[in-house]
Amino acid sequence: MILLKEYATRQGINVPAGMAMLKEMVTRKYNISGDNNATRQIWSENLAHPPMGVRPRRRRAETVYFIGCVGSFYPRVYSIPQSLVQVLERKDVEFTTMGEDEWCCGYPLYVAGMRDQMAELVRHNVQQVRQIGAKRVIFSCPSCYYAWAHLYPEVTDMRGIQLQHAVEFFTDLFPAGDVSLGPVEEVVTYHDPCDLGRKSGVFDAPREILARIPGLEFREMAASRENALCCGGGGDVEISDPSVSREVAVRRIGQVQATGARYVISACQQCVRTLQEGARRGKVRVRAMDIAQLVWKSIEAKSS
């Protein structure tokens, strides 16, 4: 499918207007929203006490948190990077963020059939990480994670840089028996993001974290893991055909509702956005939350 998109793009065949606009924004503004990239840290502005690594940013650090365009520019999910950086600070992780030096990972161009436009973004992002001296990059966006892990090595040397999605990093931060997690008395289910689950094979880590939070009751959806339905927001569908995106989101929320869970947890900023909208449109009283938000909620419960 990607190869067909690449052929169509090169030939100028039936390229949706939204895809042309996406290319313009990413290659000129370095993000998918078209905002001034100098405002990439806007998500952190209402943090009462921004952790070191956010404001101010560290010039050198072992770990870089690559936030991604959705978490950086879409207010509905600002609380995801906010939660993650507070978790890192509470667990004494010396990290930094890249601010305006973070450019779009390039994945939206890839799935639009514009792989050739990615190279500048790839080289820039890797160069910034190397200048910081980081040995690890963590992600809360599965698409960014997939791009770095599977597409970046085709463009540049990635040796010496460990890549982890936040849920994988959490399994190290919160080993079995960790006492820093407090009780969260809720019934939850888990939505597997396409780029983290089927495409990257990360299924167990998020479920292990859920199992380590006291008081949490987990109910698996019938369509889960390799068979999970997309949230409706992946693969540029929201841009190319919003009606399809909404329809799939409402359908997925129906599967969440069937479990009786009050919360659907995911590990993807875009999935959370899309599922929130699906619940609103379907008039279903289910709340979508990222696992970073849930972990921070658990830590706060322990502290209270």
The fold of 175-303 is Rossmann fold (3.40.50)
The distance in angstroms from the start CA to the end CA of the chain is 50
Which tens digits make up the pLDDT trace of 141-183? Answer: 999 999 999 999 999 999 999 999 999 999 999 998 888 899 9
Half-sphere exposure of 238 (CA within 13 A, CB side): 18
Least confident of 6-10, 94-98, 225-229: 6-10
Model pTM above 0.75:
yes
Please name which of 205, 206, 215 lies closest in space to residue 297, comparing C-alpha atoms. 215
Distance (Å, whole) CA 221 – CA 265: 11
Q: What is the pLDDT of residue 2?
A: 52
Mean pLDDT over each residue of the chain, to the nearest integer: 92
Which tens digits make up the pLDDT trace of 37-83? Answer: 999 999 999 999 999 999 889 999 999 999 999 999 999 999 999 99
What's the mean pLDDT in 204-228?
Answer: 97
Distance (Å, whole) CA 169 – CA 100: 24
> In Å, how far are 14, 21, 214, 243, 255 from 17, measured between CA atoms?
9, 6, 48, 15, 32
Residues of the chain with CATH 3.40.50.1860: 175-303
What's the mean pLDDT in 17-40?
Answer: 89
Q: Could you tell me the pLDDT band of residue 7, with boundaries at 50, 70 and 90?
A: very low
